[in-house]
Amino acid sequence: MAAESSKTTQWLTFMVLTCIAVAFLAPLVWMLSTSIKPESQAASAEMNLLPRPVGETLNYAADNYKSVWNDATVEFPVYLRNTLIVAGLSVVGMTLSSAVVAFGLSRIEWRGRGAVFALVLATMMIPFPVLMAPLYIVFRELGWIGTLRPLWVPAWFGGAFNIFLLRQFFMTIPKELDEAATIDGCSSWRTFASIILPLSRPALAVVALFHFIYVWNDFVGPLIFLTHRDQFTLALGLQLYQSQAGNTPWNLLMAASTMVVAPLVLLFLLAQRTFIHGVATEGIK
């Protein structure tokens, strides 16, 4: 509704939005607030944002976060490393392979192109549970249960959603560039690598960013495919931390949650425009 609004409507909208923004941020703020309090205050009836006495805030925070980081059972430093390995390998593979396949579906005229694309789209509807159990068996036969491979190797074969995104993007690049390159004697690979890829940086960034978030947050995959504790990822480690037979106090639990969320928030603040732009484009086309 881009029509002109009167001053009062504008103010009203502003007020409403402020309330909504507060409501949306409140859980995260409360999470942070609980994570810097000592256990007794976290569970108290007071609703303070900061612990009392306020001067001790940094000390309490340090205690909590150190306790989580150094926990003997749930080794978050190791999980961070595992998550970074899986994310790194996965993102590189996914971006590259999706770009390759998207290229094949947009820049080369061949029969069957439409059919394959339709197939790619169709697979976006397959719910994970139907793959869950047999994938487990497949990985077992391959001997990959007990390694990190089930989490990143499939990414090297492209993902339907990212292929769709990149294909749409590639279609906006003028064909004349390809033709000029071919006339110059470039193979399609050269065209791909030297012309299309550089032009697609924004789209590739979106794919990489979103896949990184997906891997960072993935829980069900690690739950099923990872057996040894020293292979766990952050998301799984967080669940382990919560489900320990002895109960974990809330302030430590929130500290652990904050630790897992913080890098993504940081990433978001740094790359805000790419995020919003990426989400917007995917929906429109």
Partner 1 sequence: MVLGGTGYAAFGPRGSRDPRERNRIVLDYWEKWTRHEGEAMMKVVDAFNASQNRIFVRYAVTSDIGQKSMIAIAGGDPPDVIGLYSFNIPPYAESNAIMALDELAPRYGVSLDNYAKGVRQVMQHKGQWWATVNTAGSVALYYNKALFAEVGLDPERPPRSIEELDDAHRKLVLMREDGELLRAGFLHREPGWWSWLWPYHFGGSIYDPAGDRSTVGSPECVRAMIWMQMYARELGVDRVKKFADGFGNYFTPENPFLTGKVAMIVQGPWIANLIQAFKPDLAYGVAPFPVAAGVANSEPVGLIDTDVLAIPRGAKHPEASMEFIAWTQRQDMTEQLARAHFKPSPLARISEDFLSTHPNKGIAVHYNIFNSSRAFIAPPTRVWQQFKDECDSVVQRLWRLEVEPDAALAALQIRTQGFLDRAADERRRRAVS
Partner 2 sequence: MSTSIRRNLHGLLWVSPWLIGAGAFMFLPMAMSLYYSFTDFPMLEPPLWNGLGNYRRMLDDPTFLRVVKNTALYCAVAIPLQTMVAVALAALLNGKVRFSRFFQACIFLPTLVPLIASAMVWMWLFNGELGLVNRLLGRAGITGPSWLIDQNWVMPSLVIMSLWGVGQAVVVYIAALQDVPRQLYEAGRIDGMGPLRQFANVTLPMISPAILFNVVALTINSVQIFAVPFVMFRRPDGTNPAGHFYTHYLYENAFVYGQMGYASAMAWVQLIVVLMLTAVMLVASKRLVHYRRV
Which residues contact partner 1 by CB under 8 A?
73, 75, 77-78, 80-81, 84-85, 88, 136, 139-140, 143, 145-146, 224, 227-231, 240, 243-247, 249, 266-267, 270
For CA atoms 204, 209, 211, 212, the dihedral sign is positive
Q: State the binding partner of 149 from partner 1, partner 2, none, CB within 5 to 8 A by kind.
A: none
Q: State the binding partner of 30 from partner 2, partner 1, none, CB within 5 to 8 A by kind.
A: partner 2
Q: What is the DSSP string of 153-222?
A: GGGGG--HHHHHHHHHHHHTS-HHHHHHHHHTT--HHHIIIIIIHHHTHHHHHHHHHHHHHHHHH--HHH
What is the rounded CA–CA span in Å between residue 129 and residue 74? 28
User: Other CB atoms closer than 10 Å to residue 255's CB: what's the count?
Assistant: 26
- Regarding 45 and contact with partner 2 (CB under 8 A), the answer is yes
Q: 78 vs 116, which CB is nearer to partner 2?
A: 116
Q: 143 vs 174, which CB is nearer to partner 1?
A: 143
Among 78, 85, 92, 116, binds partner 2 (CB under 8 A): 116
Q: What is the DSSP string of 138-149?
A: HHHHHT-BTBSH
Q: State the binding partner of 45 from partner 1, partner 2, none, CB within 5 to 8 A by kind.
A: partner 2
Among 49, 54, 58, 108, binds partner 2 (CB under 8 A): 108
Nearest to 222 by CA among 260, 188, 253: 260
- Strand-pairing partners, residue 114, are none
- Regarding 84 and contact with partner 2 (CB under 8 A), the answer is no
Among 53, 55, 129, 198, binds partner 2 (CB under 8 A): 129
Per CB under 8 A, contacts with partner 2 among 177-216 are 188, 213, 216
What is the rounded CA–CA span in Å between residue 161 and residue 158? 9
Q: 231 vs 258, which CB is nearer to partner 1?
A: 231
